[in-house]
Amino acid sequence: MTPRASVVVPAYNAAAYLPYAIDSVLAQTYADWEIVIVDDGSIDHTRAMVDSYRLKLQDRLQYVYQSNQGVSAARNSGIRAARGEFIALLDADDVWLPQRLERGVAALDADPAVGLVHAKVARIDTRGLVTGQLKVEPKYLSGSIARHIYTRRAHLICTTVMFRKSCLAAAGWFDEAMQTTEDRDLWFRIALRYKIAYIGEVLAYYRISPTSTTANLERLLQWQLHFVAKHQKSGAASRLERLQALGNIYRELGDSLFRGGAVTQSIGSYLRAVGYYPLSVPNVYMLFRAIMDPVVRVCVSATRLSNAGM
């Protein structure tokens, strides 16, 4: 019997976390699913880990092995193998909450014009402990939101995304040439053609580790800029949207540098953010905050020394 939902899991040397991902699918309240695990050339015991589930899952588990080609190619391979009408994405080091599939399927069934549904996510560390939630603006996350995806007002987290497989015929597949930001690239193309639905509850845990893609800021910036140029050149985004997107990219880079203690470097990023889009209050505020940070630190230190001497 063909399942309605296919869970596509790209895995590269993921044996340490993969059981948690698979077990979170087994715990779903929605039962009409299959798992397609794409082993992207792993050299650890990922295959053995998958084999340990075969007896339990039988034909509900597909295992696809390919030479290492990157996450976009792995997801595309999984989607090609998928039998379901809905594609639900789950990275091998992430975890779903039990109602993730049930909520997603219900949202797609409720409105045929919706091509993709996503939800709120919480962050976990390498030990699986919750470290916080991403701050979101719900008004940017549902409806016709292609512009918000392009300008980075909307952030759709991959492990909460479910879309109709039929959408890919019009929007295209994951761009295998892109090393990062490939997910935003596909969400944008889908959002140009279909409505997006948002579920305002945490339905998945997104694992942050020192080796995650977001930890490599220079590489991430390169592909974010590529995404902006790609769609502005194609005519899918306006010049103003390009400037807004670039302003948000450099502010986010500045935020990462600022949090990491690289205040001087963050000022450079914030200056570029303001240069691209000076009408953004967050861009201007963060530039001012970074410039004033050394002054604030000196004042705080002087106050502490004065109090200690009293």
Two tokens at 306?
């004065």
pLDDT value for 167: 97
CATH code, 5-213: 3.90.550.10
What's the CA gap between 168 and 78, in Å, rounded?
13
What's the CA gap between 206 and 158, in Å, rounded?
9
What's the CA gap between 119 and 116, in Å, rounded?
11
Two tokens at 192?
């140009």
What's the CA gap between 21 and 12, in Å, rounded?
13
In tens, the pLDDT along 112-125 reads 999 999 999 999 98
Q: Where are the domains of the chain?
A: 5-213, 238-304
- Alpha carbon separation from 255 to 72, 156, 217, 235 (Å, rounded): 27, 19, 11, 30
In tens, the pLDDT along 217-234 reads 899 999 999 999 999 999
Residue 192: CB atoms within 10 A of its CB come to: 18
pLDDT value for 215: 58
pLDDT value for 304: 59
**Cβ partners under 8 Å of residue 307, min gap 6:** none
Two tokens at 198?
């948002």
Residue of 244, 146, 143, 27 lying closest to 19 (CA atoms): 27
Q: Which residues of the chain have pLDDT under 50?
A: 213, 300, 302
Among left, alpha and beta (phi > 0; psi -120 to 50; other), residue 181 is: left
pLDDT value for 105: 98
In the chain, alpha helices (H) = 18-26, 46-57, 71-81, 100-110, 146-151, 167-171, 182-191, 217-233, 239-259, 263-276, 281-309
